[in-house]
């Protein structure tokens, strides 16, 4: 309810006015003088109080209970059908013979005022497996190599167009392979010169071995449909390690969202967080940053806990592992 600045009566003042009249403390005319309103206003609020009680002291909608000339139901149905064809309000009004204002009211009541309302986004469905190792998420982030700080730091784009491809022998690329445990968010990272199957397999085996040192047995691995993950070598590695391989549906990065989210965090807090003189200098800091992420960084998605705290390891063992 929006009261204008000169309003004499608020819901509480209306209640006081009605109580004064109903209890007999004031007559309607005396109440009108005391509250600075006319006698007709007093009688209206007293009648509403007697009929509806305290709930009747708030403002009611000015819309009539019954419209004199409501829009024909067939016209409403046709308006909604045309809207489903993604037509604009004016186009619909011209085809149906009603005013654009009527079309707007019909669409507003139906929740279709915006075209994007025709295709509402799928609700977010969050999931988390019960124990560490139930599923690990793998993904790869491609980063450009460099031999001096780039324009993100210096603001100077001179010489920044140096080719990176192997044909022109530019600086090239490096690939950060990431692994994130679904339950604890424990992360293991490696940097390889490519994103081929040989690197993906090496990273998978190293990740499983690292989790094993923490007492975590990995049973399933989730990846996207990248060429290295659908290769025969990767499938053979999964069989060798006794892992069930789960692939995400095409164009659904949210399924593998924990790895995607880790990459975003790494980009902001490691890759572009400070000035590195070379890409090798940046790579040297990855291990330290990942250690901080696992041991000291608290995560909102796991109730402000650190990933290692979700392993349930005794304090003595935690001190042994903290290196």
Residue 317 pLDDT exceeds 70: no
Query: What is the per-residue pLDDT across 14-55, written as a single tens digit (0 to 9) for each?
Result: 999 999 999 999 999 999 999 999 999 999 999 999 998 888
Predicted local confidence at residue 227, as pLDDT: 94
Q: Which of the two residues, 68 and 317, has the higher pLDDT score?
A: 68
Q: Which of the two residues, 141 and 124, has the higher pLDDT score?
A: 141
119 contacts: CB under 8 Å, gap ≥ 6: none
Report residue 161's pLDDT band, with 50, 70 and 90 as the boundaries. low
Report residue 207's pLDDT band, with 50, 70 and 90 as the boundaries. very high
Residue 269 pLDDT exceeds 90: yes
Predicted local confidence at residue 172, as pLDDT: 85
Predicted local confidence at residue 318, as pLDDT: 53
Please report the beta strands in the chain, taking only residues with DSSP state E, as ranges in sequence order: 136-144, 173-181, 187-192, 220-223, 244-247
The number of CA neighbours under 13 Å toward the Cβ of 299 is: 20
Residue 232 pLDDT exceeds 90: yes
**Parallel/antiparallel/unpaired status of strands 244-247 and 136-144:** unpaired
Phi first, then psi, for residue 188 (nearest 5°) are -130, 130
Q: Which of the two residues, 25 and 125, has the higher pLDDT score?
A: 25
62 contacts: CB under 8 Å, gap ≥ 6: none
| Coil, helix or strand at residue 178 | strand
pTM for the model stands at 0.68
């Amino acid at each position: 309810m929006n009261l204008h600045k000169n309003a004499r009566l608020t819901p509480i003042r209306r209640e006081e006015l009605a109580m004064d009249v109903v209890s007999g403390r004031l007559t309607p005319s005396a109440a009108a003088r005391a509250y600075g309103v006319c006698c007709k206003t007093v009688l209206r609020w007293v009648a509403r109080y007697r009929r509806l009680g305290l709930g009747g002291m708030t403002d009611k909608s000015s819309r009539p209970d019954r419209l004199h000339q409501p829009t024909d139901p067939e016209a409403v149905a046709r308006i909604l059908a045309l809207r489903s064809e993604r037509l604009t309000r004016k186009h619909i009004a011209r085809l149906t013979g009603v005013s654009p204002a009527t079309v707007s009211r019909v669409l507003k009541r139906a929740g279709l005022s915006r075209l994007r309302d025709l295709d509402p986004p799928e609700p977010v469905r969050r999931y988390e497996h019960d124990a560490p190792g139930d599923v690990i998420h793998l993904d790869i982030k491609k980063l450009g190599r460099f031999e001096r700080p780039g324009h993100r730091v210096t603001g100077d784009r001179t010489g920044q167009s140096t080719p990176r491809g192997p044909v022109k022998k530019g600086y090239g690329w490096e690939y950060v392979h990431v692994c994130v445990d679904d339950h604890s968010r424990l992360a293991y990272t490696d940097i390889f010169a490519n994103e081929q199957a040989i690197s993906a397999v090496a990273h998978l085996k190293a990740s499983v071995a690292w989790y094993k040192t923490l007492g975590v047995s990995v049973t399933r691995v989730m990846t996207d449909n990248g060429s290295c993950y659908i290769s025969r070598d990767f499938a053979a590695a999964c069989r060798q390690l006794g892992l069930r391989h789960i692939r995400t549906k095409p164009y659904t990065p949210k399924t593998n969202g924990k790895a995607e989210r880790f990459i975003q965090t790494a980009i902001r807090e490691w890759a572009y967080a400070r000035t590195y003189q070379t890409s090798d200098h940046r790579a040297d800091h990855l291990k330290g940053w990942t250690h901080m992420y696992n041991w000291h960084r608290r995560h909102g998605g796991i109730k402000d806990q650190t990933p290692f705290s979700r392993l349930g390891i005794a304090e003595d063992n935690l001190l042994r592992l903290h290196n």
